Amino acid sequence: MSETDKQLQEISDEALKAFNSSENSKALYDEKVKFLGKSGRLTEMMKLMAKLSPEEKKSFGQKVNEVKIRLESAYSNAEENLKRKEIEASMLAEEVDMTLPSVKPPTGGPHPVFQVMDEIVTILSRLGYSLRTGPLIEKDYYNFEALNIPPNHPARDMQDTFFVDQTHVLRTHTSPIQIHSLESEQLPLRIIGTGGVFRVDSDVSHLPHFHQIEGMCVDRKVSMADLKGTIAFFVGEFFGKGLKTRFRPSFFPFTEPSAEVDCQCPICKGNGCSLCKQSGWIEIGGCGLVNPKVFEHAKIKYPEWQGFAFGFGLERMAIIKYGIDDIRLLPENDVRFLRQMSI
């Protein structure tokens, strides 16, 4: 190996060592200048070329160039390494305690009663039902008479009523919405009526202002089996698939036949627990075929048109679904309660 080759080798080795041991970009750059700068050691070596023969020039030039390329690539590698390390170091300098409390204000959430309302509307919408509302201060006619509850009928005792004047009451159920729809809409129809209702009743299990939701289907041929199938679908969607539904005979003036609806307790799946009082069943609402007398009031011909209707109390549904143990929490609006209910 010639003297110059040796020198080249030395420069290359020293430069690589220097590049790889530089601790920061500045020191690295200084090293680069030392070897590759205008008066750097490799540049100095080039100056030796003038003394060489043309053949030697060619091979020497090639060798210097190889070293230069190697060193430049080594430099850029080292530079990249250092930059990465520096960024990493700066990130570590910005380290935070991830266990500190979060800073964004909490998002809010729905009231459980309205949450349940939305869920039920969503389920019934899939069967083609559309939502309707109606006035809360309702005419006696719509709240009672049109629903086959004439004045001085004992069925009026079933619903303790707030009176506003001789002809207006706070509606005691959402069923007046049925009448408004029957009077104004085209048949066949499938509607949901929902909203606040009022009864003169206030104790551990009753609120004087609470909410109901009901569905009504009017079509050419409608049977109890259709009603039961519809409610079974609803129960499966709302409380969970596989829960059975059963009907018990009951009485509502606006339906005939009438039934109370029980579903298998969603908590114990029918095995018996405190919610269902060990019976495995819980009562969730009432239903029946639309009483022909209701059609008569709405001037709809029966049996050319037939119908069924069903209704649930939203507070009761919320209590069952979320295991709320005191109905009076619902109108209290304690934010701790509402936060718990928001999922």
Partner 1 sequence: MKLSLQWINEFVEVDDYFTQPEVLAEKLTRAGLEVEEIINRRKDYDHVVIGLILEKDKHPNADKLSLCRVTTGEGVVHQIVCGAQNHKSGDRVVVALPGAVLPGNFQIKQSSIRGVESSGMLCSLKELALAEESQGIEILPTDAPVGTAFADYKGLNDIIFELKVTPNRADCLSHFGLAREISCLLGREIKTHEPKFEISAQSTKKEFALEVKSTDLCPRYTGRFISNVAIKPSPDWLKRRLESLGLKSINNVVDATNYVMMEYGQPMHAFDADQIQGRKIIVDVAQPDEKMISLDGSTLNLKTKHLTIRDSSRVVCLAGVVGGQNSGVSENTKNIFLEAAFFLPQVVRQASRDLGVETDSAYRFSRGVDPDSTMRASLRATELITQLAGGVAYGDPYDVYPSPVAKKVVTVKAQNVTERLGYTIDEKLLVDYMKRLGASVKETKAATPEASGEYEVEMPLFRFDLESEIDLVEEYARLAGYDLIPESLPVFAKSPTAHDKNYILNRKTARIFMGEGFYQAFNFAFVGAQEEAQFLGLKTKMNGIGLSLGEDPVRLLNPLNEQINVMRSCLSYGLFQNVLTNFRKGNHFGRLFEIGMSFQKGEEGAFKENLRLGLAAWGQVQNLWTQTQKHPLIFEVKSSVEQWLKQQNISAFSWVTPQDRSLIPNFCHLGQFAELVVEGQKVGYLSTLHPSLRDENKIRESVVLAEINLDVLYKGQPRPNRFGSLSQYPSVERDFAFVMKKSVRVDEVMKAMKKIAGALLVKTEVFDLYEGEKLMLGQKSVAFRLTFQDQNATLQDKTISDLQQKLVEGLENQLGLSLR
CB of 102 to partner 1, least distance (A): 7
CB of 91 to partner 1, least distance (A): 20
Nearer Cβ to partner 1 (16/275): 275
Provide the β-strand partners of residue 216: 191, 309
Nearer Cβ to partner 1 (136/324): 136
Residues 6 or more apart whose Cβ sits within 8 Å of residue 115 = 318, 341
∠ Cα 266 272 273 (to 5°)? 80
Nearer Cβ to partner 1 (22/306): 306
Three-state secondary structure call for residue 336 = helix
CA atoms within 13 A on the CB side of 301: 2
- One DSSP character per residue, 148-181 reads T--TT-GGGGGS---BSSSSEEE-SSSTHHHHHH
CB of 236 to partner 1, least distance (A): 10
CB of 98 to partner 1, least distance (A): 13
Nearer Cβ to partner 1 (6/209): 209
Nearer Cβ to partner 1 (53/166): 166
Are the C-beta atoms of 248 and 262 separated by less than 8 Å?
Answer: yes
CB of 267 to partner 1, least distance (A): 22
Q: CA 36, CA 2: separation in Å to the nearest integer? A: 22
